[in-house]
Structure 1
Amino acid sequence: MSDQIDRYIADQSPAKGEELRDLHRRILAISPDAELWFLDGRNDAGKVVSNPNIGYGSQTLSYAAGDSRAFYKIGLSANTSGISVYVVGPKDKTYLSETYGSRLGKAKITGYCIRFRSVNDVDLGVLEEVVADAMGPRSAGASS
């Protein structure tokens, strides 16, 4: 797993790779025993459906149809305009923006994603709070 993660980070531009490496270290410092995931962005049929991403932690996601599956709690991904941090299973769709939006800096926040051009655009202390919160116990459809 760490070989795939290291290759993914190394395949980025030098500047973006260094920022991903720094965020990867920060997330592991917050949750050193977190399970690591690497998703290459392909679905079961091999079709590219998303950007590759690194996942941290583990939780069980339950769906309305009654199925469930294991998935990560935090995802980290490079994209064409910068970096995305995915928070899987937030309490509700407005939780991230209401809780962290005013303090985070220049980032676009959706129900589960924080997207920014560079780590220089966001308050890394607040981003670390997001990670620590997400890596803790969950409610509202997700459980550890």
Structure 2
Amino acid sequence: MTISQQIEEHLHAQPEPKRSDMQTLHSLISGILPEGKLWFEDGKNQEGKIVSNPSVGYGSQTLKYANGTTKEYFQIGISGNKSGISIYILGIADNTYLPRTYEHKIGKASVTGYCIRFKQLKDIDFVLLEEAIRYGIEVTSKN
């Protein structure tokens, strides 16, 4: 099964309204990064044990770790969880930027240095979410 097929199967398996919200996000991010690499992580480790929620990733960047090692990874990720949806905006050097810029104006969401979590899209300002995603892509594309 291709990565695109895995993503479609994963999105389709979500309960409503999460399914529609995640498909909307998938369309948005795919439109922003039409040539971007797609990723699908099923949330299982090498032994097949579930260690995280499955996630869909978009784009590609090289993450640099404190010990000097590097790893190719996605720029933007979406993941459904029991309480809603998480948008991962990875690789932003300033881990105060997202909460400082969006926490008090994006709506009913929890905002950390790399993640925006919300129950449903209707609970947040979609324009601001798109702005945050575009910002993350812009700054991580320079890496």
Report the TM-score when normalising by structure 1. 0.92
Q: Which amino acid aligns with 1:136?
A: E
Provide structure 1 residue ranges, at least 5 long, that are not aligned to the other structure: none
Deviates more, 1:67-76 or 1:39-48: 39-48
Query: Do the aligned residues in 1 keep the contact of 2:30 with 2:36 (CA within 8 Å)?
Result: yes
Provide structure 2 residue ranges, at least 5 long, that are not aligned to the other structure: none
Deviates more, 1:27-36 or 1:113-122: 27-36
Distance 1:36 1:4 in 2: 10
Distance 1:16 1:76 in 2: 11
Alignment equivalent of 1:32, drawn from 27, 31, 34: 34
Alignment equivalent of 2:136, drawn from 124, 134, 137: 134
| Higher RCO, 1 vs 2 (CA within 8 Å, ≥6 residues apart) | 1
Distance 2:139 2:123 in 1: 28
- Cross-structure match for 1:125: 127
Deviates more, 1:91-100 or 1:80-89: 91-100
CA RMSD of aligned residues (A): 1.5
- Cross-structure match for 1:96: 98
Query: Do the aligned residues in 1 keep the contact of 2:75 with 2:140 (CA within 8 Å)?
Result: no
Overall identity of the aligned pairs, in %: 45
Q: How does 1:1-144 map to 2 (within 5 A)?
A: 1-138=3-140, 143=143
SS in 2 for 1:85: strand
The count of aligned residue pairs is 141
Q: CA deviation at 1:89?
A: 1.3
Distance 1:105 1:30 in 2: 23
Report the TM-score when normalising by structure 2. 0.92
